[in-house]
Amino acid sequence: MGHMTKIVVERLRKEFGKLVAVDDLSLEIRDGEFVCFLGPTGCGKTTMLNCIAGLEEPTSGDIYFGDQLVNKLRPQDRKIGFVFQNFATFNLMSVYDNIAFGLKVRKVPSAEIAKEVDRVAALLRLDQLLGTKVGQLNLNEMQRVALARAIVIKPAILFLDEPLSQLDAFMRATMRAELKRLQRELGQTAVFVTHDQLEAMAMADRIAIMNRGRLQQYDTPDRVYNSPSNRFVASFLGNPPMNISECRYQVKGAKALLLFEGESEIDVTQFREVVEKNIAGAQAAIAIRPEHVWIRDHPVPGRALPAQVQEVEPLGSETIVDFVLQSKAFRAIAPSGFKSRLGDTKWIEFDMSHLHILDDAGKVIV
């Protein structure tokens, strides 16, 4: 196979008996792009990866590498590198022999193997460890050996299935930066599976968010975070997660309002045209991130809702404030030093430029 410019997946479906693991999924991964498949456990992201890599055969649908249909190609014929969750290193062998393994299998001449191992070891800062047995390394170093072994064969595409999940928080942060640097230097197409949204947001050019086998949104980290397509994406991304609260849409005179429990309301006249074009009935919901919620000591008619302070969590640079709004939890991020007594009533106002309105089916319409 020649150089693969992109991966195209068309209407992919994968069934295991009655279970539909991947359901009618289509997407394109550009040449040199770093794409993350993100979603909760059991959403189909690893099955999707395995179908593209050739480890699973799709029930239906097509997969193209560049212009070539690869459905029937074996994994070893797809020119891919794979890094697994458990590293899959040979712990009784040296770092050198681990990295060289794939080249030896391909019967590459010894001089060329030595040159390639040295090149990749330098890239991954393993050059001082080539004579060390892998079993004597720490997890961070073992992870780099697994990566080196995958990239030394010069795969057109690098597949990474939860490769950082065994590392501690500090090592994960280090390896995130390392992986992204490496991928940029190599200009390699990379497909990364994770359930960790921080990893996806930090590393990906685009994120494919999946739930129950279906693609929910496929876009840049900025777009999936700030412009979620539906209720699932809005609630799944973010820590603390996005606030979602039910409401009713009503027009009073010249004003368009969202009504909440206790007859409190916010004025959404600026969104009236788009709301009425996209909403079938009166039932709706709002979604807004905690960092876009302002806390007021006094009512702001038409702009703020009364809520009770339930908990105050100082985190150094900021403070998370938990409220009860409509008998549900609602969070805001306040500046460092924010003080309030539990049970106090405050008024929470929304940054309208970051407010999302959802229809009764959970689709974001604003």
| Residue at 66: amino acid letter | G
| Nearest by Cα to 362 from 240, 251, 214 | 214
> CATH homologous superfamily for 6-235?
P-loop containing nucleotide triphosphate hydrolases (3.40.50.300)
pTM of the model: 0.92
Q: What pLDDT is attached to residue 2?
A: 42
Q: What pLDDT is attached to residue 276?
A: 92
Q: Which fold has domain 244-358?
A: OB fold (Dihydrolipoamide Acetyltransferase, E2P) (2.40.50)
Residues facing 13 on adjacent strands: 60
- Contact partners, residue 36, CB within 8 Å, separation at least 6: 191, 192, 193, 194, 199, 200, 203, 204, 206, 207, 208
Tokens of 15: 């069934």
Q: Mean pLDDT for each 10-residue chunk of the chain (366 residues)?
A: 74 97 97 96 95 96 95 91 84 95 93 94 92 93 91 91 85 86 88 94 97 98 97 94 94 93 90 91 94 95 93 96 92 95 96 95 95
Sheet holding 255-259, edge to edge: 265-267, 255-259, 243-252, 283-288, 356-358
Q: What pLDDT is attached to residue 1?
A: 42
Radius of gyration of the chain (CA): 25
Distance of CA 132 to the CA centre of its chain: 35
Distance of CA 322 to the CA centre of its chain: 25
Q: What are the angstrom distances between the C-alpha of 353 and each of 42, 127, 214, 228, 287? A: 34, 51, 29, 14, 12
Domain ranges of the chain: 6-235, 244-358
Q: What pLDDT is attached to residue 58?
A: 97
- Which SS3 state, helix, strand or coil, does residue 179 take? helix
Using CB atoms within 10 Å of the CB of residue 213, give its burial: 0 to 12 exposed, 13 to 18 middle, 19+ buried: buried
Tokens of 269: 């006249």
Query: What is residue 94's DSSP assignment?
Result: B
**Alpha helices by DSSP H, the chain:** 45-53, 95-105, 110-123, 139-151, 169-186, 197-203, 221-226, 231-236, 272-278
